[in-house]
Chains A and B, each alone.
Chain A
Amino acid sequence: GAVVSQHPSWVICKSGTSVKIECRSLDFQATTMFWYRQFPKQSLMLMATSNEGSKATYEQGVEKDKFLINHASLTLSTLTVTSAHPEDSSFYICSAVSSSGNTIYFGEGSWLTVV
Chain B
Amino acid sequence: GEDVEQSLFLSVREGDSSVINCTYTDSSSTYLYWYKQEPGAGLQLLTYIFSNMDMKQDQRLTVLLNKKDKHLSLRIADTQTGDSAIYFCAESYSSASKIIFGSGTRLSIRP
Asked whether A34 is an interface residue with its Cβ less than 8 Å from the other chain, the reply is: yes
Range for the number of chain B residues in contact with chain A: 10 to 19
B107: shortest Cβ distance to chain A, in Å?
Answer: 14
**Interface size in chain A (residues, C-beta < 8 A):** 19
Among A32, A42, A43, A106, contact of B96 (Cβ-Cβ < 8 Å): A32
- Specify which of B96, B99, B101, B102 lies most central, judged by the most chain A CB atoms within 10 Å of its CB: B96
- What total of A-B pairs shows CB separation below 8 Å? 41
Chain B neighbourhood of A83, CB < 8 A: none
How far does the Cβ of B94 sit from chain A's closest Cβ, in whole Å? 7
Given contacts A34-B99, A102-B95, contact A108 B104 (CB under 8 A): no
Structural contact, A43 and B101, CB atoms closer than 8 A? yes
**Which residues of A approach B to under 8 Å, CB–CB?**
32, 34, 36, 42-46, 49, 93, 95, 97, 102-104, 106-109
Residues of chain B at the chain A interface (Cβ within 8 Å): 41-43, 45, 88, 92, 94-96, 98-104
